[in-house]
Structure 1
Amino acid sequence: MKTKLLGALCAVSLAGPAMAATCTSTSNWGPLGPPGLEVFGHAFGSTGSYLDCYTFTLSGPAVSFGGVIERDPSLWGFDLNQLAIDVTSVSLFSGGITLGKTGSLFDSDSSPWDFTFNGLTAGTYTLAVASSITQEWGIVPGLVGYMGSIATSAPVASPAPEPEALAMMLAGLAGVGAAVRRRRRA
């Protein structure tokens, strides 16, 4: 019994930071459709952990998708004790930013280069990009960073048959039923 309680307390303490994260930079995009498209990014000049927050509103149900790519000179073969970046996650919070904190966590994606968030409704959301900058290099600040984009579109409804198609299907079933009935009598 004590083990279950201890496990539950650990889970709550670990989930706490994900539920209300402090943003290190904020931007307000305003309405983002659907449909909508926004391009974003950040260049860094010093080491540290960052959480960049971008707030937007949706006017109706939507699906959002996008990606983030790292701009890291070490990937180009330079080895000069420079800054290195690691974009660790992209999260979506429902609600805007108040007092430097985001709303409640809607969903998180640990593969930032390709993310999708489904089932969005009208309202305010905050896209949070978490990154870590390591290895001090002061020669060219701002060379390390990330770039990304997010798009929204209206969700595709599951195809429902039109009334005319239902009427034709029922007429066809009635015809098949009549043919089977005739064969049984013969």
Structure 2
Amino acid sequence: MAGFLGGLILKALKFAATAVVVALSSLTAFAWERVVQKDNFDGSSFEAMYSRAEDGVGTLAIYAAGNGHINNESISITWTPGASYICNTSPNDWQFVEWMIVDGSGNTISREYLTNWELSTDRKSLFIRSERSRKTGKFESREVVDAMLAGTEARFRFTDDCGEKLTSVFPLSDFRKAANEINAP
């Protein structure tokens, strides 16, 4: 049963990623927007919020599964830093991502140095699902979103296995508004 559910979750993530790529083609930098997508096959739906980075290249998308609310623990985050290819030499397709959330004065609210993010099959995106952190016991994607709700800027960085360092900065001015729209009944 777990394999079946895992397959459904992966199907939903792939479906969600396709829908968000289409939506991102018209997205302007700095704005957090919300999209609701329905699967024509089984009628399931999901909500996502997404934004482009300050440089206009990277994107960040947050998907709500289950009841579609960002305030539950079933959320996934996908970061596409804008690289044409993310070099990975490890057999497990994981990359260590450092993330930091800052407030309006530039003070660090939250920072994690080595969180494991999965590499997408096309090697262009990294994602983190609703899994418990071995270090804190909390849901890692939930920790990122909670910190983002309290901050004014989110920064993500990683160095791929070939040494290319990629960084994306996302202003969070519209983040709370987009999250509240998703959380509305």
Q: What TM-score results when the alignment is normalised by the length of structure 1?
A: 0.30
- By relative contact order (CA 8 Å, sep 6+), the higher-ranking structure is 1
Structure with the greater alpha carbon radius of gyration: 1
TM-score (normalizing by structure 2): 0.30
